[in-house]
Amino acid sequence: MWTPRFSGKLESMRNPEYVPLICTLLAIEVAHLRWIIFTQWRCRRCASPHIDCGCKPNWIKRLL
Ligand SMILES: [Zn+2]
């Protein structure tokens, strides 16, 4: 039966050893999304990428 093996797999997923790994992957993903926002999104006023834009909204400045 697959059920005991599946639940055993879930049990190992809850192993605390995975928590730092998951946190690291989340941090990498957040940094990646920030990089995309700053380099790929363009400002509506000055048409510069947000990384070069001087008039970006405060919420974007806070992300820096
Ligand atoms: Zn701008």
9-38 pLDDT per residue, tens: 655 566 788 899 999 999 999 999 988 988
16 CA distance to ligand 1 middle (Å): 44
32 CA distance to ligand 1 middle (Å): 21
Structure tokens at 36: 């995309």
43 CA distance to ligand 1 middle (Å): 5
Entry pTM:
0.53
- Give the chain's length: 64
Query: Three-state DSSP class for 14?
Result: coil
Predicted pLDDT of residue 63: 67
Average pLDDT of the residues in 53-59: 77
47 CA distance to ligand 1 middle (Å): 6
39 CA distance to ligand 1 middle (Å): 13
Q: Which of 4-13, 16-25, 39-48 has the lowest mean pLDDT?
A: 4-13
Output phi, psi for 16, to 5 deg. -60, -20
Distance, C-alpha 36 to centroid of its chain: 10
Give the C-alpha distances (Å, rounded to integers) separating 33 from 11, 23, 59, 63.
Answer: 31, 15, 15, 11
